[in-house]
Structure 1
Amino acid sequence: MATPADTGETPKDARGLSALDETNLEKSIVRRGLATPGEVEACKAHRAKLATQDKDSARSQNLLEIMVNAKVLTRSQVMRLLQERGEGARKLEIPGYTIIDKLGKGSMGVVFKAKQISVNRIVAIKVLLDSLAQNKEFIRRFEREAQIAAKLSHNNIVNAIDAGEAGGRFFFVMEYVEGPTIKDYIDKNKIFEEKEAVRIAMAVAEALKHANQRGLIHRDIKPENVILTKDGGVKLADLGLARLTGDEKWGLAEAGMAIGTPYYISPEQVRGQTDIDIRADIYSLGATLYHMMTGQVPYGGDTPSEVMRKHVDPRVELVPPDHVNTRISSGMGMVIETMLAKNRENRYSNPDDLILDFKCLLQGDSPMIAGQNPDSLEALAQGDVDEFGPTAVSEDQMVEVAGYVNSRNQIIAAMAVILALSIVTNVIMLVVR
């Protein structure tokens, strides 16, 4: 079947574009690199010129038509823009809210900036994609995300406000947070200074502590999900992959599935284990912190599967962050390496321990928990056995050690006798008095 792009006709939706917010459309065109700001302004100026010459002609053409005629945009590009806008604000009506703008689109939903009329505040509304709203499983997942978000209330987490369904559109309302993400800074090649990075990571750790206390794991900690607010705050966003640790049925349903983002995913998530806990989030936060401070991800690769394999493979060693960026202190390097231990038994066991070490670093002290690696302690204990055990010590050495022990015992016995005589003497003197 022929499309408008094939026939050269102006798309029907483009002719009805007056219902759209052209300012937002212009921003979208520029942001995607489809046209420069100068080209957009030139097309707008041309439309204004047409309006002075023929008002009817100007009314019959909108900005997209002008841009197509000027060969700034192709009809295919216009069709894609209109298709995306089809998930947009002009079709969405939620009682009690006024849609202002489209903020972004993810794998499951579109996020809009809106005003909550009753209290006159700006909020963010996530709407399940129409293409997924026909599937009961996706609806269940979407509702579960809203329910999980409602369990959390913390200064470092984007908080849930409302949820529901309107006109067949499933939505939930969240706190509106304005500010760039860590990813926005990384994309601009920013390397975070140590104290700034620690402050941000500690705020995320506080959010993880709150979630952990409520039996939740985030499962998708990454630079894109950490927002830096204009007032210097830190907000953890996107609970789309969050899970209740105690929900065994849920865990079994996802058994064997690698759920997470490849560059930041924990080894146990790669393996699809069902018993993951807060230590998985600590690993992902460590990978995020590594990227923030070195400008590199912990493990790279040409494909997602190659990257995930490196997270799991014990033969692939992590390059210490303080080797990549020599400005990083050895204590900071130790903390990040502890967070990124492939064996979760060697990581921080909970956010409290991690927060303690972050506080030490901010005070200029060495970390208290990092470095106390169970493997190292086990090796040390094994070393003691090897040094004094029968398989590693000669007979002469054993005799020497035995002599030392006997001498020590004799000294202890002599001291005990002296102490006993002293006590007896004191008792006699008391009696004489």
Structure 2
Amino acid sequence: MATSVEGSTSGKDVKSLSAVDEASLEKSIVQRGLATEAEVQACKAHRTKIAEKSKESSPTLLEVMVDAKVLTRSQMVRLLKEKGEPARKLEVPGYQILDKLGRGSMGVVYKAKQLSVDRVVALKVLLDSLAQNKEFIKRFEREAKIAAKLSHNNIVNAIDAGEAGGRYYFVMEYVEGPTIKDFLDKNKTFEEKEAIRIVTAVAEALKHASQRGLIHRDIKPENVILMKDGGVKLADLGLARLTDDEKWGLSEAGMAIGTPYYISPEQVRGQTDIDIRADIYSLGATFYHMVTGKVPYGGDNPSEVMRKHVDPRVQLVPPDHLNTNLSSGLGMVIETMLMKNREHRYSNPDDLILDLKCLSQGESPMIAGQRPESLQALVEGESDGVEGYVAGPSEEQMVELAGIVNNRNTIIATIGMLLAVSVITNVILLTVR
């Protein structure tokens, strides 16, 4: 099985990988979402069969994965270049490198000390192999600039960025703690109350980003850090973009940008007009995984998974059916977040946060489960006979919703009058979108 390799990486480079390198490569491929663990294992099994039948040298795992169309040749070249990258001492003025924390698709992250203020930070450095490409440099700098627009307790905040000796770096707040993915990898699921607390924190982060015209586009368990003190931080703005940047959007038209298990339908389709509702969908997929231990849609390969996100004939298994300890209200909230038609999802983080607060207080969600036509009927005062209508929210809920409504100027509220000292009429809070 011969595989031609593009670029300067030769077949000899492929063969020269040691068993240790291949093991590291396997982990990197799965962590980046280039392939699933099942796909890697299937390719390894296929390679073993080939080796048993052939007297000649067997192909490498990467060659098998390319021939199986699990990886592209360009992905193979990039992986090999990174693996063969020579070590070069990292020196960034004003910072002392303390330790290597990890490696992503674009850069290596180090634990460092900012000498001027004597504090520990996270320092991300663009890979040398990518620093030769202007497009990757531009993307890396764009990530830093986008991060600098945000300042929120639930977002890993930017500190500094620059270039030193041909090395492009980006300095961030140092956050200690595991990610949601670390728990899920150990087959641990989250209790409903704790999951609601964490997801509410991420929703607050999305609200902050949305108010600044930004969408994250890669909400997933790996990008949510759970701090030791109970704090929650949303990380990795590598795919974030400005919603009103039409040129940027058009340059990515038709490209499925995101992580297959958590990507929104509109991202799968490569639409250019995606908005915060795409992040709400991805957060919903993360929420689903947290409380059920399963992703919303599985599949043998990324293409099949992404097709299921889009295909209206493929129905989501309600989370409270997989985990019967979950409340029906939680199930409604997650299902609303995961509506394939974004018009039926929460239209913004405020609405989602409101329902999450209801759940945390042991109450039913106020918005989830209401179909657009039902909400419109309520706006017009036609509550009688509307299927799915739930009357009787508390006065406290009404006041809270009304405050959010007035701030956004996009919701019309009709509040019933008190008819007697202890009798409250039915109150209808309506949303016009």
Q: So what's the TM-score if we normalise by structure 2?
A: 0.68
Identify which of 274, 277, 292 aligns with 2:275: 277
Give the structure 2 partner of residue 419 of structure 1: none
Unaligned runs of 5+ in 2: 1-9, 28-78, 386-433
Structure with greater Cα Rg: 1
Is the partner of 2:124 in helix, strand or coil?
strand
Q: Deviations over 1:316-345 (max 9, x none)?
A: 000000001001100000000000000000
* CA gap 1:255/1:277 in 2 versus in 1, 3 angstroms: same
Identify which of 286, 289, 314 aligns with 1:288: 286
Is the partner of 1:332 in helix, strand or coil?
helix
Q: Show the 5 A alignment for 1:42-191.
A: 91-191=89-189
Give the structure 2 partner of residue 342 of structure 1: 340
Is the partner of 1:188 in helix, strand or coil?
coil
Query: What is the letter of the counterpart of residue 127 of structure 2?
Result: L
Q: Deviations over 1:247-304 (max 9, x none)?
A: 0000000000000000000000000000000000000000000000000000000010
Query: What is the letter of the counterpart of residue 226 of structure 1?
Result: V
For 1:318 and 1:265, the matched residues in 2 are separated by 14
Matched, 1:306 2:304: yes
TM-superposed CA distance for 1:91, in Å, is: 1.2
Give the structure 1 partner of residue 39 of structure 2: none
Q: So what's the TM-score if we normalise by structure 1?
A: 0.68
Query: What is the letter of the counterpart of residue 99 of structure 1?
Result: I
For 1:194 and 1:360, the matched residues in 2 are separated by 13
Give the structure 1 partner of residue 244 of structure 2: 246
For 1:298 and 1:173, the matched residues in 2 are separated by 34
* CA gap 1:379/1:356 in 2 versus in 1, 3 angstroms: closer
Q: Deviations over 1:216-242 (max 9, x none)?
A: 000000000000011110000000000
Query: What is the letter of the counterpart of residue 95 of structure 2?
Result: Y
Query: What is the letter of the counterpart of residue 286 of structure 2?
Result: T
TM-superposed CA distance for 1:166, in Å, is: 0.3
TM-superposed CA distance for 1:6, in Å, is: 10
Q: Deviations over 1:75-122 (max 9, x none)?
A: xxxxx99x859566x611000001111111111111111010011111
For 1:373 and 1:309, the matched residues in 2 are separated by 25
For 1:342 and 1:213, the matched residues in 2 are separated by 24
Give the structure 2 partner of residue 424 of structure 1: none
Does the 8 A contact of 2:85 with 2:128 survive in 1?
no
Aligned length: 316
For 1:362 and 1:345, the matched residues in 2 are separated by 25
Does the 8 A contact of 1:160 with 1:173 survive in 2?
yes
* CA gap 1:310/1:143 in 2 versus in 1, 3 angstroms: same
Identify which of 211, 224, 245 aligns with 1:213: 211
TM-superposed CA distance for 1:373, in Å, is: 1.7
For 2:176 and 2:235, the matched residues in 1 are separated by 12
Query: What is the letter of the counterpart of residue 345 of structure 2?
Result: R
Does the 8 A contact of 1:251 with 1:275 survive in 2?
yes
Unaligned runs of 5+ in 1: 12-27, 33-79, 388-433
For 2:303 and 2:184, the matched residues in 1 are separated by 23
Give the structure 2 partner of residue 372 of structure 1: 370
Does the 8 A contact of 2:161 with 2:169 survive in 1?
yes
Query: What is the letter of the counterpart of residue 320 of structure 2?
Result: D
* CA gap 1:87/1:120 in 2 versus in 1, 3 angstroms: farther
For 1:308 and 1:132, the matched residues in 2 are separated by 28
Q: Percent identity?
A: 81
TM-superposed CA distance for 1:4, in Å, is: 12
Deviates more, 1:365-374 or 1:278-287: 365-374
Query: What is the letter of the counterpart of residue 268 of structure 1?
Result: E
Give the structure 2 partner of residue 324 of structure 1: 322
TM-superposed CA distance for 1:379, in Å, is: 11
TM-superposed CA distance for 1:5, in Å, is: 13
Q: Deviations over 1:104-147 (max 9, x none)?
A: 11111111110100111110111111101111111100000000
Q: Deviations over 1:136-163 (max 9, x none)?
A: 1111000000000000000000000000
For 1:154 and 1:235, the matched residues in 2 are separated by 9
Q: Deviations over 1:49-89 (max 9, x none)?
A: xxxxxxxxxxxxxxxxxxxxxxxxxxxxxxx99x859566x
Does the 8 A contact of 1:346 with 1:375 survive in 2?
no
* CA gap 1:170/1:323 in 2 versus in 1, 3 angstroms: same
Give the structure 2 partner of residue 49 of structure 1: none
For 2:213 and 2:297, the matched residues in 1 are separated by 29
For 2:221 and 2:373, the matched residues in 1 are separated by 30
Query: What is the letter of the counterpart of residue 276 of structure 2?
Result: I
TM-superposed CA distance for 1:380, in Å, is: 11
Does the 8 A contact of 1:87 with 1:129 survive in 2?
no
For 2:320 and 2:245, the matched residues in 1 are separated by 39
Does the 8 A contact of 1:115 with 1:121 survive in 2?
yes
* CA gap 1:85/1:114 in 2 versus in 1, 3 angstroms: farther
CA RMSD after TM alignment? 3.0
Does the 8 A contact of 1:101 with 1:114 survive in 2?
yes
Query: What is the letter of the counterpart of residue 356 of structure 1?
Result: L
Does the 8 A contact of 1:99 with 1:113 survive in 2?
yes
Does the 8 A contact of 1:87 with 1:110 survive in 2?
no
